[in-house]
Amino acid sequence: MATPAALTGWGSTRDGRDARYGQAVVTAGQGQPAAPAGAVLTALLQAASQEVPAAVALRRELHATPELGGRETRTASRVAAALGEPGAPSVTTGRLVRIGAASGPSVAIRAELDALPLTEQTPVAWASRNGASHSCGHDVHLAALTVAGRAVRRVGGPLPLVAVLQPREEGYPSGALDLVGSPQLEAQDIRAVIGVHVHPHILCGQVSAGPGPVNAAYDEVTITVQGRGGHAAYPHVTRDPVLAAAHVILALQHLISRRTDPMHPAVLTIGTVQAGTAANVVPEQVVLTGSLRTFEPADRASLRSAVSATAGATAEAYECTAQATFTQGEPVLDNDPALAAAAAACLAQAGLRVAEPLRSCGSDDFAYYCTRYPSLMMFVGVGQPGMQDAPGLHHPAFLPREEAVEDVARAMLAGYVAACSVVLPGAAAGLGWAPESV
Ligand SMILES: [Zn+2]
């Protein structure tokens, strides 16, 4: 293993480093310093550890002043500045910060800018008081990305790093669609994308980086059950949509338990029911909204049509009507197998234990990057032993511990180095660095 000093020739000053980034790629094997992946990662991790205190302070600042999706301009500016480029170009309310050569192949790391419309319920002095809350851990991801980016600025790296500060991960249309396929992102010549998300179902110190599908495709459904309203004392002259909607909800559950292959994960949840306004009135209509999550494209299509047909037929039995409309969300999040394999070795070097692959019916618009680039989403543990019932993602009392900033940063750097080794195997071999335990 080369020592970190082997890297100092291409990482000391901004201008020189930028030139050398390009050279490292173009002239691989022609006299560039040997820099085994182990040494690159070691140097980056050492630099990262010095950035952690400032990043923890930044995390508190972001946490105290969250912004909802579509309004994240201040958050984006603050993080871009922390990454050393306050004037980084905008893409809607997001930013792209490129670290390294201005052109040529690069590796991207995505972090989400938005908070949730929740009233925070944590006891910390830096809790949000503005009606929005970073209850999905995006404040941790952003702070960690500043650690990773600043480490790459200081040390250098095999390929430029593009920090993707993405808006509206929690909303629709997905913020990832602002970026994926955009001229601004296409211009970055991205060859791989890394994403990291904290996860309370994984213990602290562990990271899941499983290959293949790890998150479900997501669709939202709105079902309008129309009846005929009237006085509650005379139900026989009404057509009660509340009763019909109750049966629709029950009937829909049969689509998962009896119409879907039990070996195919799928879940349908009705999350809202909006009916009348008075206890003594049969309302005219009920509106249900729900979420459908699937892993198989065929299930996605067949369940959507079955939801429509079942809702309609069930409502008809009560002499009401039901109309279902769908809003298509993100596709399945499909981790690139080569990136996952390379990351496993680098994660271990970064002091993180590789956990069993986490596959869940959660969803994340990072899936859109997977459709365009080889991509890897990793889940970093923030769970504590014996605390399975602690508030989880999207709960207003969810609060990852502060050490998560460093854990996520280390996972990001491991993913970045792993991606470089996969993207440019020839150049990596020429430079003498492939993940040492692969
Ligand atoms: Zn999230």
Looking at residue 436, its pLDDT comes to 33
Interval between CA 199 and ligand 1 midpoint (Å): 9
Interval between CA 324 and ligand 1 midpoint (Å): 28
Interval between CA 36 and ligand 1 midpoint (Å): 33
Interval between CA 322 and ligand 1 midpoint (Å): 33
Interval between CA 115 and ligand 1 midpoint (Å): 9
Interval between CA 351 and ligand 1 midpoint (Å): 24
| Cα 194 to Cα 335: distance, rounded to the nearest angstrom | 10
Interval between CA 244 and ligand 1 midpoint (Å): 35
As a whole-number percent, the residues of the chain with pLDDT over 70 amount to: 89
> Which residue is associated with the tokens 């990454």?
83
Interval between CA 254 and ligand 1 midpoint (Å): 30
Looking at residue 91, its pLDDT comes to 96
Confidence of residue 424 (pLDDT cuts 50, 70, 90): confident
Interval between CA 48 and ligand 1 midpoint (Å): 23
Interval between CA 389 and ligand 1 midpoint (Å): 19
Confidence of residue 262 (pLDDT cuts 50, 70, 90): very high
Q: Which amino acid is at 287?
A: V
Q: What is the mean pLDDT of residues 149-156?
A: 95
Select from 279, 301, 306, 304 the least CA-distant residue to 291. Answer: 304
Interval between CA 328 and ligand 1 midpoint (Å): 19
Interval between CA 171 and ligand 1 midpoint (Å): 11
Interval between CA 341 and ligand 1 midpoint (Å): 24
Interval between CA 116 and ligand 1 midpoint (Å): 9
Please state, rounded to an integer, the average pLDDT across all residues of the chain.
Answer: 90
Strand ranges, E, within 72-154 = 90-91, 94-99, 106-112
| Cα 182 to Cα 175: distance, rounded to the nearest angstrom | 12
Interval between CA 381 and ligand 1 midpoint (Å): 14
Burial of 84 (0-12, 13-18, 19+ CB in 10 A): middle
| Cα 166 to Cα 171: distance, rounded to the nearest angstrom | 12
Q: What is the mean pLDDT of residues 144-169?
A: 96
Token readout for 436 is 């040492």
Interval between CA 143 and ligand 1 midpoint (Å): 14
Interval between CA 329 and ligand 1 midpoint (Å): 15
Interval between CA 385 and ligand 1 midpoint (Å): 22
What is the b/e burial string over 316-328, where b = at least 16 CB atoms within 10 angstroms of the residue's CB?
eebebbbebeeee
Interval between CA 138 and ligand 1 midpoint (Å): 6
Is residue 99 within 8 A of residue 163, CB to CB? The reply is yes
Residue 223 has pLDDT above 50, yes or no: yes
Interval between CA 375 and ligand 1 midpoint (Å): 17
| Cα 249 to Cα 195: distance, rounded to the nearest angstrom | 35
8-47 residue pLDDT tens: 333 333 333 333 333 333 223 333 444 566 889 999 999 9
Interval between CA 279 and ligand 1 midpoint (Å): 38
83-120 residue pLDDT tens: 999 999 999 999 999 999 999 999 999 999 999 999 99
Confidence of residue 4 (pLDDT cuts 50, 70, 90): very low
Interval between CA 9 and ligand 1 midpoint (Å): 38
Cβ neighbours, 10 Å, residue 187:
13
Interval between CA 136 and ligand 1 midpoint (Å): 5
Interval between CA 45 and ligand 1 midpoint (Å): 25
Confidence of residue 257 (pLDDT cuts 50, 70, 90): very high
Looking at residue 426, its pLDDT comes to 56
Angle, alpha carbons 423-185-412 (nearest 5°): 50
Q: What is the mean pLDDT of residues 179-192?
A: 97
Interval between CA 393 and ligand 1 midpoint (Å): 8
Interval between CA 298 and ligand 1 midpoint (Å): 27
Residue 365 has pLDDT above 50, yes or no: yes
Interval between CA 276 and ligand 1 midpoint (Å): 34
Interval between CA 99 and ligand 1 midpoint (Å): 24
